[in-house]
Structure 1
């Protein structure tokens, strides 16, 4: 067993690369580089060490099988490599089928006057000091209610698309 250590840098700037995966192929031994690009990993003679990072080419380094040293130090330069990731479409429905069902269930108004929604009243902000103080039980119940609403909001899927418009006045 010997200690493999060193620094992984970017080929163009020679700055240390943080978060590069350094692992022995076919085993569970591995580490990541620190902020300055340094790493240290125990290896066995004959191991193949992999240096991999997103946006950079992967490098394979073989530890010599006939080495008698107790430690090896490497200076690894990773070349940048552009990779195209697939497009991700984000929508508030779990699947495209759910979106189609919501559109099909949408009920459009028959009269255009129904499209003109009344303007809601302005929001009135109250001071926290004007409200009655909560005791421990009320505070606990309020916290549980907030957690439940947050949990329900994460899994709720809109089932109807609401269409409304705001009247525009021309001068």
Structure 2
């Protein structure tokens, strides 16, 4: 009975030592963190083990590497993404573990907020109507020069263009030819008409 008791204690001691060695097995935990679309990496992701207080962050390529123990719970957190957890499983084949972590987008819709610098709508309208633009004087000058009366006076005082001068002198030349070689249209200047008029008066007398 004594030998059986000693043998049992020895077996349990070996099992306990094996369990402790197995629990304290260090694994090099490496991986890459991607976004929800699985095409873009998430740099600056915090990789943290709350139990041991150790952690690291992903590099600009989303890669991370840190030592962990079997059974550790690893927390992944990044701004704009939901937290993700990963429990390190038993790993007998190799001393390193490679994973790919995909984080989900954390989208929050805020309620609409209206910001009004004026307490009432009437005060806002008065301030809007009385508001003067930074270049208000330039606009007023433009509107003054674009006034219809000013534009009409400027159009009437415009000098004749070369084309208009040419047409005017050509018209004068045509009129001079008409006056020289055509009979006068005004009968008061026609001597034959005056002669006929005088003869008609004599006949009546």
What TM-score do you get using the length of structure 2 for normalisation? 0.39
Q: Relative contact order: is structure 1 or structure 2 higher (C-alpha 8 Å, sep ≥ 6)?
A: 1
- Of structures 1 and 2, the larger Rg is shown by 2
Which one has the bigger helix percentage?
A: 2
